[in-house]
């Protein structure tokens, strides 16, 4: 791998980065970010936020700017959506993770977001990366759906080089010849990132699989692989979801998943004394 001198590529030889968001420490604790694909209404967002908070999530996700394949699909509520997210944060205390798609929006979206998300389609939008490199909000950088680890870390480097050290990587699946799942969730990237980078990495099994029945096992597998957290799409009433309905977990499914993650985490802590896989020692 080239560019080993760049800071995003430093693995075990330097201290791992912890990204602090409120009282959540990404890189130390296993974090669960959950919420709707998109902010559809105040009722939908606040109800969903209360449900995920109750189940034990650490942060709320929700898109106000939705980069959609078709220009005729719902594009998000924009500023109105950000104001709803702000209200959901006030009601639940959950920090808000939301996507920014345009460099011109970065500074004002910072007034509403606790973490700025860069989506898969914008991973190599270098002017956007430079812009988020200048602000003091952590950035969740999703892996481009056609990107190698090296390309991804170079994009993280744009943000770090701009002066923002708080980058969280997010594996969300890559395009392969497989069509059964929406994407191919590359969990091997988790220990690979741990080998070559100090940055925390979380996993998005919702977009990574696009199939409800597969999200839970892949969430547990992400934890077992040493990920620092997961980001999951949840809707208080999935049948009504405007966006990514087929992968929206119901409150019951999400609560069930949280219980299993808790049990797996306890097993992993016990095993940490015996095994030394990346992410297992704590």
Contacts of 175 (CB under 8 A, 6+ apart): 145, 146, 183, 184
Residue whose Cβ sits closest to Mn ion: 37
Query: From the list Mn ion, ligand PEP, none, which binds 63 (C-beta under 5 to 8 Å, kind-based)?
Result: ligand PEP
Please say whether the beta carbons of 174 and 146 come within 8 A.
Answer: yes
172 binds ligand PEP (CB under 6 A): yes
40 binds Mn ion (CB under 5 A): no
Binding-site member from 27, 35, 36, 63 for ligand PEP (CB under 6 A): 63
44 binds ligand PEP (CB under 6 A): no
Please identify, using beta-carbon distances, which residue of 94 and 268 lies nearer to ligand PEP.
Answer: 94
CB of 210 to ligand PEP, least distance (A): 10
Pairing of strands 24-26, 19-21: antiparallel
Please say whether the beta carbons of 81 and 62 come within 8 A.
Answer: yes
Enumerate residues 105-164 that contact ligand PEP by CB under 6 A: 119-120, 142
Q: Which of 30-38, 183-191, 252-260, 274-282 is the region at the interface with Mn ion (rule: CB under 5 A)?
A: 30-38
CB of 34 to ligand PEP, least distance (A): 11
Rounded Cα distance, 160 and 10, in Å: 12
Rounded Cα distance, 187 and 191, in Å: 8
CB of 31 to ligand PEP, least distance (A): 15
Conformational region of residue 165, where left means phi above 0, alpha means psi within -120 to 50, and beta covers everything else: alpha
Any idea what the Cα angle at residue 201 is, between residues 195 and 206, rounded to 5°? 130
Tokens of 52: 């995920």
Enumerate residues 72-111 that contact ligand PEP by CB under 6 A: 99
Please say whether the beta carbons of 146 and 178 come within 8 A.
Answer: no
- Give the burial class of 164: count Cβ atoms within 10 A of its Cβ; 0-12 exposed, 13-18 middle, 19 or more buried: buried
Query: From the list Mn ion, ligand PEP, none, which binds 142 (C-beta under 5 to 8 Å, kind-based)?
Result: ligand PEP
CB of 202 to ligand PEP, least distance (A): 11
Radius of gyration for the alpha carbons in the chain, expressed in angstroms and rounded: 17
Please identify, using beta-carbon distances, which residue of 69 and 276 lies nearer to ligand PEP.
Answer: 69
CB of 223 to ligand PEP, least distance (A): 19
234 binds Mn ion (CB under 5 A): no
Residue whose Cβ sits closest to ligand PEP: 119
- List of residues contacting ligand PEP (CB under 6 A): 37, 63, 99, 119-120, 142, 172, 204, 207
């Amino acid at each position: 791998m080239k560019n080993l001198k760049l800071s995003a590529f430093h693995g075990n030889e330097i201290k791992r980065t912890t990204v602090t968001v409120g009282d959540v420490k990404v890189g130390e604790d296993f974090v669960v970010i959950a919420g709707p694909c998109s902010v559809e209404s105040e009722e939908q967002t606040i109800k969903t936020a209360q449900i995920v908070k109750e189940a034990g999530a650490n942060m709320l996700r929700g898109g106000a700017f939705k980069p959609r394949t078709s220009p005729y699909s719902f594009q998000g509520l924009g500023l109105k959506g950000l104001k709803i997210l702000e209200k959901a944060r006030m009601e639940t205390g959950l920090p808000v993770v939301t996507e920014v798609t345009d460099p011109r929006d970065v500074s004002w979206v910072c007034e509403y977001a606790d973490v700025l998300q860069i989506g898969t389609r914008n991973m190599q939008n270098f002017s956007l990366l430079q812009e988020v490199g200048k602000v003091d909000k952590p950035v969740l950088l999703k892996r481009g759906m056609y990107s190698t680890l090296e390309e991804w870390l170079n994009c993280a480097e744009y943000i770090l080089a701009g002066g923002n050290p708080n980058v969280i990587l997010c594996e969300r699946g890559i395009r392969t010849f497989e069509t059964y799942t929406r994407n191919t969730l590359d969990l091997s990237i988790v220990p690979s990132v741990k080998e070559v980078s100090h940055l925390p990495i979380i996993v998005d099994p919702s977009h990574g699989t696009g199939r409800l029945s597969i999200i839970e096992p892949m969430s547990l597998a992400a934890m077992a692989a040493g990920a620092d957290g997961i980001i999951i799409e949840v809707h208080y009433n999935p049948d009504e979801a405007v966006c990514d309905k087929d992968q929206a977990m119901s409150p019951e499914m999400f609560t069930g998943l949280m219980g299993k993650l808790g049990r797996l985490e306890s097993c992993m802590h016990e095993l940490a004394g015996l095994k030394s896989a990346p992410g297992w020692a704590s």
